[in-house]
Amino acid sequence: MTGQDPSLSSLILWFAGLLLASAYFSSSETGMMSLNRYRMNHLKQQGHAGATRASKLLEKPDKLIGVILIGNNFVNFLAASVATNIALIILGDPAPVMTAVVLTLIVLVFAEVTPKTIAALYPEKIAYPSSILLSLLLRLLYPVVWIVNIISNGLLKLLGFEPQVDDSLQQLTPEELRTVVHESRGRLPKKRQGMLLNILDLEKVQVDDIMVPRHEIQGVDIDDEIDTILDQISSAQHTRLPVYRGDIDNVVGILHMRSAGRLLKLEHINKAALVQETTDPYFIPESTPLHTQLFAFQNRKLRMAIVVDEFGSVRGIVTLEDILEEIVGEFTTALSDSNRDIHMQADGSYVIDGGASIREINRLLNWNLDSRGAKTLNGLLMEYLQSIPDSSIGVRLDGYFAEVIQVKDNVFRTVRMWEDPEWELDS
């Protein structure tokens, strides 16, 4: 037995070395496949050598997996042979069952589970250094890898699978990107995270969701007396006013207050001079998505559009500032300053104008009123009641109470609302 000790020692060293090689291939496979592709691409653009090598290897995953499995299986089979020889030396006779059990436990623990767990937890620390040797092995074993891939790809096609990588599967959908933004809350400030989510929401929102409705448009009727028009211009709170003739459906131009300032310096002002200072109105359909309109404003170098329905009637106006507020939020922080349609009461309820936008109510009060149908609170109540009551009435919406305070001209003028504290319990 003493004459065999040097042989046993060398076999044990060989076996340990093969276990390390097997652990390398196992951890490399898990590490490469666990890499965050978007972080890897970012590091690649920054010139990171490991990310560049790993990205190149992952462009052809069939070849990468081929070289890893060829190396892993080779060292595992060789380790099994060495383990058999060690068992023969120690036990003196073949013990296939015991050898298989012991070898399986050793390989599982030291060459599979442990290295793969480490690689799954720290993929970059494993994959990027491993890519050096993997790239070298791929060059050395390319003929073998090529033959294996030809056979395996043929089998894949027979089974109805496409061996080529579908690049579209590596691209994030808007909903997946939303999930990524949500999960980055620890790395992104809350306000910046909200802005990113709002940008993703732009394609779901149309201009009629955020426009200033027709009855709230402040414009200049060119048929009024010139003194009335000048008083209107001098007291205007907006930088741009639509100029119309008799009715808002007959818009003739948009008057910028900068141009109006030049008019006010003239000794004799007439309507023709006022109309000459206006710019052509820009009309858009009410169904235009916000992201489309944002780019349209940018391309046309405009800041205001007249929203019309399918019959050409004016529905409202939308401005660049309205769209920007959908992204960054209100430019004012106080509720009383940001919306004159919503007034907080001492008991915690809110008195809300019936014409207030549901989206605006939800955003300012952090509510979840249904905005899929009606655009205003008045429309929501009409949808729910299917009629206009003759007197005040209380309504229980999903999670909210609404008490109609004033009905005038077949419209819910004023509504008092508050949250239903028992809604979550009931639902």
pLDDT, tens digit only, all 427 positions of the chain? 444 455 888 888 999 999 999 999 999 999 999 998 888 988 999 999 999 999 999 988 888 999 999 999 999 999 888 888 888 887 766 667 777 788 888 888 998 999 999 999 999 999 999 999 999 999 999 899 899 888 888 887 888 777 665 555 567 777 888 888 888 777 788 888 888 888 888 888 889 888 888 888 989 999 999 888 888 888 888 889 999 999 999 999 999 988 877 776 766 778 888 888 899 999 999 999 999 999 999 999 999 999 999 999 999 999 999 899 888 876 654 444 446 788 888 888 999 988 888 888 888 888 888 877 788 888 888 888 888 777 778 888 878 989 988 888 788 889 999 988 776 545 4
- In this structure, the answer to whether residues 112 and 19 fall within a common structural domain is yes
Do 76 and 121 reside in the same domain of the chain? yes
Crossing angle of helices 61-91/142-158, nearest 10°? 110
Q: Is 314 part of a structural domain of the chain? A: yes
Q: What is the Cα–Cα distance from 303 to 282, expressed in whole angstroms?
A: 10
Q: Are residues 351 and 391 in the same domain?
A: yes
- Same domain for 141 and 26, yes or no, is yes
CA atoms within 13 A on the CB side of 389: 16
Residues 313 and 351 in one domain: no
- Same structural domain for residues 140 and 7? yes
**One domain for residues 138 and 280:** no
Pair (15, 54) in one structural domain: yes
Q: What percent of the chain has pLDDT over 90?
A: 35
Quick one: 84 and 137 in the same domain? yes
Domain hosting 178: range is 172-204
CA-CA-CA-CA torsion sign (325, 331, 336, 340): negative
Quick one: 181 and 249 in the same domain? no
Last-in-domain residue among 204, 223, 251: 204
Q: pLDDT, tens digit, for every residue of 221-243?
A: 999 998 888 888 888 888 899 99
Give the Cα separation of 295 and 278 in Å (integer).
23
Residue 327 domain flag: no
Same domain flag for 307 and 386: no
- Strand order across the 350-353 sheet: 342-344, 350-353, 411-419, 400-408, 394-397
Q: Which residue has the tokens 């149309």?
A: 206
Q: What is the pLDDT of residues 62-103, one digit of tens each?
A: 889 999 999 999 999 998 888 888 888 877 666 677 777 888
